[in-house]
């Protein structure tokens, strides 16, 4: 049985200084609030970051302000009404264990225990425990054994499986046994990842021995994509230990609105069910007294559905044990809309032509190339998957290597085979090279190292880029110096500035103006292989340089003459295409993300659009097209392999169903 679409993550990190814990808990009111909000499953707390338990444990310490078995009463109330129960506990943060067992804490190279400076009261600052410490692991194993035995949960949600530069005695000993140097920060980071993966594997195997069917999720970086450059350290090794994957991504927190799509478009082809986890909070976890804007909550949840995920909204129960009716009224409004659409969500698969390689290695986080790629392709309404070196690339018509994708020989051979088969590839800046700067792909160019000038200019002409006004356009980011080989076409030339700006030589306020072309090229084409010497994607992520989008749109016309989607929509609208058996399901999101304050983006409006044309590629004509869930017919035409739609009105979230006969039936009719 799959995981449910409508979930709640019920935080309950409660200070030991609060002494009336659970005194207002009413099982009937609790479960009726969840039912009215159409909640199908809830993550309930066994133990919180403060380190206290919420049931009569024999392993740890019950919260000093709690009388009775709060978790047991919650679980029983939920089960009586058919609401699923997932038990939450925390591995990496535990204030009480840090006090009682300081030897379990992580130790960084500056000598800080648990990563916390003395007297710090900073938000989200908890003492970190080392999941590589065998004594602490044994404690956690006893804990999960007790929770499985007492509560028989549907799942276990194990939080904060992270190691952050730990050089505690246990880690130093383990590093030396592995032949690693604990004084080398890079090797410490690699060991951190080995620690995390090793803990997940050991605990998952232990849990499987206790209950072979209970679902297990470890929250600690499985959603953070990397290119798998080191097999043993890849986030894929974490995913292998998961029954499903929650993508924790609260846009009001440090995640922002870019984090979730980067993660989901990497994880959506990993063979695991996915959940989008946001929060009802205005800012982030523990933001008591706040309520997420309705339009923001809608957008985040519906974007998850369009991306093929389930939805889990984070909340925090009041220490006395009651749920805020206003919060659950808002959640219920969104969950009701999800419930109505579930028949068109089940069993769908993403339709995608473009695979974009990640540039960040296994111990790094995604950077500017990934962010720029996501933004550009989303604004051009082209679905993409983010790929690592382990992914199968056979199904993609176009591979993109944005700016910094370093290759080894094995990865290069696979991509070269794609090129040799006549499929398209777009490579920018330093991508395609190995660690020594050697280009490993046959792209029809020779690289001569870093370009001499930055910023510099690209001369765009109507011959290669019709529709872009001719001009010498500035590019700010440092580029590569590339030369064409015989048979390679140069689509755009470099125009150098008079000189690089320095304290001795400068002109006006910023970069020196353009001088004249010197014969150096910037955009090169050989067949279906395109190389751009500028870091196109980082440039867009950092500066929002519009020319990046205009160039990419023109290059896509060359590389993908038959795209899956063509949409006459503003760049902030998002389009997702999924298949459901023989049918196609098109999701359109039209919410306006605004920078209305210094620290975060917000959404307050869904702006309606009228009479907009959208074309969807299809290998057969539709039987009918309608909006869901209302079943309202949508007029369409079919020709040249496309379903042509004129949408009279598009609200914040529009779901269209393109029903088609089975392919063999269509062929028989023909």
Average pLDDT of adjacent 10-residue blocks, the chain of 670 residues: 94 98 98 99 99 98 97 99 99 98 97 91 92 98 99 98 97 98 98 97 98 97 88 96 97 94 97 97 97 98 99 99 98 99 98 98 93 98 98 98 97 98 98 95 96 96 94 97 97 96 95 93 98 98 98 97 98 98 98 92 94 98 98 98 97 98 67
C-alpha 156/C-alpha 414 separation (Å) is 38
Cα-to-chain-centroid distance, residue 304: 10
CATH classification number, 354-559, choose in 1.10.287.3510, 3.40.30.10, 3.90.1490.10, 3.40.50.880: 3.40.50.880
HEC per residue, 357-387: ECCCCCCCCCCHHHHHHHHHHHHCCCCEEEE
Backbone angles phi, psi at 315, to 5 degrees: -140, 170
pLDDT of residue 670: 41
Burial of 494 (0-12, 13-18, 19+ CB in 10 A): buried
C-alpha 226/C-alpha 391 separation (Å) is 12
Residue carrying structure tokens 């870093």: 450
**Whole-model pTM?**
0.96
Report CA dihedral (28, 29, 34, 40) to the nearest 10 degrees: 0
Q: Tell me yes or no: is domain 565-669 CATH 2.60.40.1180.
A: yes
Residue 416 has which token pair?
A: 């070269």
Q: How far apart are the first and last CA of the chain?
A: 39
Query: DSSP secondary structure string, 295-341?
Result: HHHHHHHHHHHHTT-EEEEEEE--TTS---HHHHHHHHHHHHHHHHH
The total of other beta-carbon atoms located within 10 Å of residue 620's CB is 18
C-alpha 310/C-alpha 304 separation (Å) is 7
CB contact burial 252-272 (16+ within 10 A = b; e otherwise): bbebebbbbbbbbbbbbbbeb
pLDDT of residue 665: 64
Query: DSSP secondary structure string, 227-271?
Result: --SSGGGSHHHHHTT-SEEEEE--TTTTTTTTHHHHHHHHHTTSS
Is the separation of the CB atoms in 313 and 8 below 8 Å?
A: yes
HEC per residue, 437-487: CCECCCCCEEEEEECCCCCEEEEECCCCCCCCCCEEEEECCCCEEEEECCC
- Per-domain residue ranges for the chain? 6-349, 354-559, 565-669
Is the separation of the CB atoms in 569 and 607 below 8 Å?
A: no
C-alpha 576/C-alpha 344 separation (Å) is 13
pLDDT of residue 547: 97
Is the separation of the CB atoms in 283 and 277 below 8 Å?
A: no
Residues near 521 by Cβ (< 8 Å), separated by ≥ 6? 482, 483, 484, 490, 491, 492, 493, 494, 533
Sheet holding 622-628, edge to edge: 349-350, 574-580, 583-589, 653-660, 622-628
Indicate the angle between helix axes 546-559 and 368-379, nearest 10 degrees: 70
Please give the CATH topology (third level) of the domain spanning 6-349.
Answer: TIM Barrel (3.20.20)
Is the separation of the CB atoms in 409 and 574 below 8 Å?
A: no
- Give me the helices (H) in 524-618, please: 536-543, 546-559
Residue 104 DSSP class: G
Residue 442 has which token pair?
A: 């046959």
Exposure on the CB side of residue 242, measured as CA atoms within 13 A: 30
pLDDT of residue 663: 87
């Amino acid at each position: 049985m799959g995981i449910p679409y409508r979930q709640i993550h019920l935080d309950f990190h409660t200070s030991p200084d609060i002494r009336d814990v659970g005194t207002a808990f009413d099982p009937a009111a609790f479960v009726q609030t969840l039912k009215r909000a159409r909640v199908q499953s809830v993550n309930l707390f066994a133990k919180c970051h403060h380190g206290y338990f919420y049931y009569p444990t024999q392993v740890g310490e019950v919260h000093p302000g709690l009388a009775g078995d709060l978790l047991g009463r919650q679980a029983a109330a939920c089960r009586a009404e058919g609401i699923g129960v997932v038990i939450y506990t925390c591995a990496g943060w535990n204030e009480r264990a840090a006090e009682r067992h300081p030897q379990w804490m992580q130790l960084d190279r500056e000598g800080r225990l648990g990563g916390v400076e003395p007297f710090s009261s900073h938000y989200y600052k908890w003492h970190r425990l080392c999941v590589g410490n065998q004594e602490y692991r044994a404690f956690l194993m006893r804990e999960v054994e007790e929770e499985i035995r007492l509560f028989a949960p549907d799942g276990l949600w194990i939080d904060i499986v992270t190691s952050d530069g730990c050089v505690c005695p246990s880690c130093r000993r383990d590093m030396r046994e592995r032949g690693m140097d604990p004084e080398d920060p890079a090797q410490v980071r690699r060991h951190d990842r080995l620690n995390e993966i090793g803990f997940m594997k050991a605990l998952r195997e232990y849990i499987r021995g206790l209950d072979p069917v209970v679902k297990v999720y470890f929250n600690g970086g499985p959603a953070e994509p990397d290119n798998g450059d080191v097999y043993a350290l890849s986030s894929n090794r974490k995913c292998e230990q998961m029954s499903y994957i929650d993508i924790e991504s609260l846009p009001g927190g440090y995640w922002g609105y870019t984090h979730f799509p980067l993660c989901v478009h990497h994880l959506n082809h990993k063979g695991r069910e996915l959940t989008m986890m946001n929060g009802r909070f205005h800012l982030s976890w523990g933001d008591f007294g706040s309520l997420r804007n309705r339009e923001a909550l809608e957008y985040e949840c519906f974007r998850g559905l369009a991306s093929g995920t389930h939805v889990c909204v984070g909340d925090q129960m009041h220490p006395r044990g009651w749920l805020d009716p206003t919060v659950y009224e808002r959640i219920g409004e969104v969950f009701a809309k999800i419930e109505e659409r579930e028949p068109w969500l089940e069993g769908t698969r993403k339709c995608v032509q473009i695979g974009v390689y990640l540039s960040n290695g296994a111990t790094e986080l995604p950077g500017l190339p990934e962010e720029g790629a996501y933004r550009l392709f989303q604004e051009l309404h082209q679905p993409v998957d983010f790929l690592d070196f382990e992914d199968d690339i056979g199904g993609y018509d176009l591979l993109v290597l944005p700016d910094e994708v370093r290759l080894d020989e094995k990865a290069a051979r696979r991509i070269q085979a794609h090129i040799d088969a006549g499929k398209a590839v777009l490579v920018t800046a330093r991508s395609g090279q190995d660690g020594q700067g050697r280009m490993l792909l046959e792209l029809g160019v020779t690289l001569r190292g870093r370009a001499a000038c930055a910023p510099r200019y690209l001369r765009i002409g109507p011959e290669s880029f019709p529709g872009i006004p001719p001009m010498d356009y500035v590019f700010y980011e440092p580029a590569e110096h590339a030369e064409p080989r015989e048979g390679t076409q140069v689509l755009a030339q470099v125009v150098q500035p008079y000189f690089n700006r320095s304290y001795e030589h400068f002109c006006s306020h910023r970069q020196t103006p353009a001088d004249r072309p010197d014969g150096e090229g910037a955009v090169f084409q050989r067949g279906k292989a395109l190389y751009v010497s500028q870091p196109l994607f980082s440039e867009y992520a950092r500066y929002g340089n519009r020319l990046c989008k205009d160039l990419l749109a023109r290059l896509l016309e060359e590389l993908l003459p038959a795209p899956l989607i063509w949409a006459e929509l503003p760049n902030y609208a998002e389009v997702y295409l999924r298949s459901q058996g023989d049918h196609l399901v098109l999701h359109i999101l039209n919410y306006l993300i605004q920078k209305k304050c210094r620290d975060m983006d917000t959404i307050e409006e869904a702006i309606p659009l009228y009479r907009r044309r959208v074309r969807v590629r299809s290998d057969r004509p539709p039987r009918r097209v309608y909006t869901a869930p209302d079943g309202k017919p949508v007029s369409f035409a079919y020709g040249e392999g496309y379903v042509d739609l004129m949408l009279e009105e598009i609200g914040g979230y529009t779901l269209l169903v393109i029903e088609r006969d089975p392919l063999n039936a269509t062929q028989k009719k023909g």
